[in-house]
Amino acid sequence: MIKEHHKCLIIGAGPAGYTAAIYAARAELKPVMYVGMQPGGQLMDTTEVDNFPGYPKGVEGPQMMEDMRGQAERFGTDVRTGVATQVFFNESPKRVLIEDKAEITADTIIIATGATAKWLGLPSEERLKSGGVSACAVCDGFFYRKQEVAIVGAGDTACEEATYLSKICSKVTMLVRKDGFRASKAMVNRVMTTPNIEVLFNTETVEVLGAQTVEGVKIKNNQTNVESNLVVTGLFIAIGHTPNTDIFKGQIDLDENGYIKTIPGSTNTNIPGVFAAGDVQDHVYRQAVTAAGTGCMSALDAERWLAAQGPVSYTHLTLPTNREV
C-alpha cells in the first residue's frame, strides 16, 4: 500500500470539492483530491443547468463538472480516482485509507462527499431521469413553466417544493403515500391554501409513463387498489436525501440525519483541521452555487488554520515518493 503525506486532502468532487481545490491550489496548498466513483456528484445526472452564473446559454451538468475539474487541474490540483473507505481523525496527522491502494495522511482535510437523493426505485423513473424526472424543483422547475407536474413526498421539503412549483406551473399534484402529511402545520397550511395544488392521499406511484420524456404517471390508491393515469410532463421526487457520511460516523460530529455539523459562519467541524463543504453539511439549500460557495470557504478556512499552526512537522513519518494509485 502506498503511503503519502499532503498539506491538503479533498475527499469528494462536485461543485464544493472542485471549488475548494481551485482555491487551495491557488494558495499553494498543493491539494490532492479523490473524486470517488461518481466524480461530479448529483450534477452528473443533470441534463441542463441554467442557474449557475457564467453559463448564459446553460450547460449540461457533466460538462460543468469537466470545466471545474480542468480549472482545478490548471492550478495544480492532483485529481485522482479512488474511494475513501476509512478515516482516522483522532490521530495526528489525520489518516485516510483509499480502498486498499493508499494510506494518506494530511495536515488538513476537506470533506465534500455530498448527499444522494432518495428515489422510488422504479425502472421507468431511472430511464426518464434525463427526460422529466427530477429530485430538485428549484433546479428544474423553470423548464415546466405553465405545465402540469406531479411531486412525490409528504414532508416539509415536498411541501416547500410544491409551493415553489405552483408559482411556475399551471397545476401541481402532490402524491402522498399515506393519509396525511409529515410536514409542519405551517407548510401543510401553505399547500392546502394554494389553489393550483391538488393533494392525492393514499396514492402510490406505480410507473412513470413516456418513451423519451415524461407523459404521465400511473398511480394507485393503496386503499382501493384502483389504478389510474395522471397526465403530467414532469415528475419531482421529494422524499429526502442521504448525506454520504457513513465512513465518518464515530470520527466527526453528525446531526440526527447524518449531515456533518459545522460551526455557523464557517466550514469548521469539531475536529481541528477537518472542514466540510457542500451538501454533506447543507440540508437546506442544496444548490450547486451554494456548494461552490462553501467549497471556497473550506479552502480559505484550511489555509487560515494552517497559517495559525505555524510550521508542521511529522518526524515519525517515512513516506515513499511513488504517487501512483
Q: Which of 8, 67, 78, 136 is catalytic?
A: 136
Residue 320 CA to residue 325 CA, distance in Å, equals 13
Name every residue whose Cβ is closer than 8 Å to that of residue 50 and which is 6 or more positions away in sequence.
58, 142, 143
Residue 182 CA to residue 81 CA, distance in Å, equals 40
Q: Which of 8, 78, 100, 140 is catalytic?
A: 140
DSSP type of residue 226:
-
| Among 5, 53, 214, residue whose Cα is nearest residue 15 | 53
Name every residue whose Cβ is closer than 8 Å to that of residue 34 and which is 6 or more positions away in sequence.
9, 10, 11, 12, 80, 81, 82, 83, 84, 98
> Does 156 qualify as catalytic in the annotation?
no
Residue 87 CA to residue 7 CA, distance in Å, equals 16
Residue 42 CA to residue 15 CA, distance in Å, equals 10
DSSP secondary structure letters along 279-292? GGS-SS---HHHHH
> Does 139 qualify as catalytic in the annotation?
yes
Q: Which of 50, 67, 100, 139 is catalytic?
A: 139
User: Three cell numbers at 20?
Assistant: 475548494
> Does 296 qualify as catalytic in the annotation?
no
Q: Could you list the active site residues? A: 136, 139-140
